[in-house]
Amino acid sequence: MCGRYAIAYNSEELPSHFKGFDLEVHPKINKGDHFDRSFNVAPTTSGAVLRAKDRELRYMKWGLVPNWTKNAEDFNTYKTFNARLENLQESKMWMACCNRKRCVIPVSGYYEWKTKGKEKIPYYVVRKDGKLCFLAGLYDYLESEDLWTYTIITGKAPKELSWLHHRMPVILEPGTDAWDTWMDPDKTKWTQEELDDLLAAHYDDEVLAVYQVGTDVNKVANNNQSLVKPILKQDQGKFNVELSATEKRHMKQEAAKEEGNSQSGQTKKRKTKTEDVKEEEQSVAHRTKRTKKDVDQEEEPSEKDDEAVEEEVMKEEEGSDVGDEPYDEENDAEVDQDVMEDEVGEEVDEEYIKGDENDVEGSMDEMEDDAVMEEPMVKGAKQTGQKKGGQSIGERVRKEVGGSSAVKDEEQSDPTPKRRGKGRSTSGKGSDEGDVVNMMSSGKKASKKRKQHN
């Protein structure tokens, strides 16, 4: 089959390249029409066709539509862009065209794909001298839509080219008997045998060259000269296109323009990509800043939190509820009312501490140390609000003072040395004296806290 080909000349340049074959052509192009060169001509696009009837050179649509078609849009031209040589006299559509509507299609070269496993590798077949190559074809005209269409005839590939594909387009060389017979307008009847002999595919290694090209040709949208250039180093010398000085200049200008457009597109893409990256960075920075601020707010303790913590500490230390209500001296929950009324106890404690140091073993500092050690027990007394032993602090102190005098008399009568401890006596009554000191200390603490609340 033949599904892609290249033509290196536009509609104004093409006619001049027939002169190298001593061929007379009559270009037929409507005023204002222009057809660019194309290195990737595909079915349903337009290509130049040289008619055998009158040597008219006309651009037609690739994919033959029979003249009896009622609606060209409903006709599937993808089934008719190639015509098999073996079927030219078996199909009425091909037979009518073969009798009176024969043509050749000028190309710079054609593409063929070699199948290797699941991969299809594109190759390019071209004349070594860079001149035009002519493919045998048929054309038709749909008068109702003023539509000219054509097809390319394919045959079995010769053994020299069977490694590439089992079929190939029929190539006709100007000046040969096959060319003259095919392009004879007076020849209107054919047999299949005549056609098989006349259009048998040939491959002349001295005239044609084959080399691998890039896969960009697989996409119809790609269309530039690079598509027909070899990609293998050993094939570099095979690339050749016949160009006049003017055509070379035009070709360079178009190549430069295409390169500029490509670079401009790449620059635009890079610019767009850079802008996208900047926007993303700004977005990330904003999210990071906001997240950090939120975290700081979560981690930064408020004054209210400090007050709550202080309240909890006070509750643990005082064993009572401390709220926001103003202090009520009469209903103070921290110190029992009975304890507060016993002012004599505080006066006795103070006189007791300032009295004779020999009355109690140990210094005042030692007594205060003992009071700190016994603080939990005193707190228990605060919380319950009961008089220890059913007595007031003053009564207990007076009683204990009397007991301490008895202890002193006993020690003086006993010559045995006694071991002194921190505010404690070995006589067994030191614990009672410690209780007295502890109660005295608790009374002072209660008074101090009341003053703080006030």
In the block, which residue shows the tokens 């597109």? 265
Catalytic residue among 97, 103, 112, 247: 112
Given this model, what pLDDT does residue 202 score?
A: 86
Q: 182, 88 in Cβ contact below 8 A?
A: no
Given this model, what pLDDT does residue 238 score?
A: 83
| Helix (H/G/I), strand (E/B), else coil: 360 | coil
- Tell me the pLDDT tens digit for each residue of 266-300: 555 565 556 666 666 666 555 555 555 454 554 44
Paired tokens of 15? 């006619």
Element spanning 106, H or E: strand 102-107
102: nearest Cα among 46, 140, 147, 59: 140
Residue 2 known to be catalytic:
yes
DSSP 419: P
- Tell me the pLDDT tens digit for each residue of 108-153: 999 999 999 889 999 999 999 999 999 999 999 999 999 999 999 9
As a whole number of angstroms, the distance between CA 29 and CA 232 comes to 39
Residue type, 43: P
Given this model, what pLDDT does residue 168 score?
A: 95
Strands 56-62 and 147-156: parallel
110: nearest Cα among 231, 226, 236, 227: 227
Q: Where are the beta strands (DSSP E) in 157-215?
A: 167-169, 171-172, 208-212
Paired tokens of 350? 């103070």
Paired tokens of 286? 């904003």
pLDDT bin (cut points 50, 70, 90) of residue 340 is very low
Of all residues in the chain, the percent with pLDDT exceeding 70 is: 55
Element spanning 121, H or E: strand 119-127
Across the range 249-257, mean pLDDT stands at 71
pLDDT score of 226 more than 80: yes
Q: 132, 117 in Cβ contact below 8 A?
A: no
pLDDT bin (cut points 50, 70, 90) of residue 339 is very low
82 or 306, higher pLDDT: 82
Residues sharing a CB contact under 8 Å with residue 100, sequence separation 6 or more, in sequence order? 53, 188
In the block, which residue shows the tokens 């620059």? 267
pLDDT bin (cut points 50, 70, 90) of residue 304 is very low
The domain ranges of the chain are 5-242, 321-453
pLDDT bin (cut points 50, 70, 90) of residue 243 is confident
Neighbouring CB atoms inside 10 A of 82's CB total 20
Give the distance from CA 193 to its chain's centroid: 63
Catalytic residue among 2, 98, 103, 133: 2
Our CA angle for 43, 231, 172, nearest 5°, is: 45
Beta bridge partners of 127: 208
Paired tokens of 311? 């309240």
Given this model, what pLDDT does residue 287 score?
A: 56
Across the range 72-95, mean pLDDT stands at 91
Residue 24 known to be catalytic:
no
Given this model, what pLDDT does residue 356 score?
A: 46
Neighbouring CB atoms inside 10 A of 267's CB total 10
As a whole number of angstroms, the distance between CA 443 and CA 352 comes to 14
Burial class, 304, CB count within 10 angstroms (exposed 0-12 / middle 13-18 / buried 19+) = exposed
Most confident stretch, 30-34, 222-226, 381-385, 389-393: 222-226
Given this model, what pLDDT does residue 31 score?
A: 83
DSSP 98: H
pLDDT score of 444 more than 60: no
Please indicate, yes or no, whether the overall pTM of this predicted structure exceeds 0.85: no
Paired tokens of 128? 């070594």
- Tell me the pLDDT tens digit for each residue of 15-71: 999 988 999 899 998 888 999 999 999 999 999 999 999 999 999 999 999 999 999
Pick the range with the lowest mean pLDDT from 16-30, 60-74, 91-105, 304-318: 304-318
- Average per-residue pLDDT for the chain: 74
Paired tokens of 281? 């960075």
For helices 430-453 and 343-354, the axis angle rounded to 10 degrees is 120
- Tell me the pLDDT tens digit for each residue of 350-376: 443 344 444 444 444 444 444 444 444
438: nearest Cα among 381, 361, 359, 363: 381
Q: 110, 164 in Cβ contact below 8 A?
A: no
CATH architecture for segment(s) 5-242: Alpha-Beta Complex (3.90)
| Helix (H/G/I), strand (E/B), else coil: 51 | strand
Dihedral pair phi/psi, residue 302, rounded to 5°: -90, 165
Dihedral pair phi/psi, residue 160, rounded to 5°: -65, -20
Our CA angle for 225, 226, 229, nearest 5°, is: 105
Residues sharing a CB contact under 8 Å with residue 71, sequence separation 6 or more, in sequence order? none
Across the range 207-231, mean pLDDT stands at 94
pLDDT score of 426 more than 50: no
DSSP 207: T
Q: 429, 407 in Cβ contact below 8 A?
A: yes
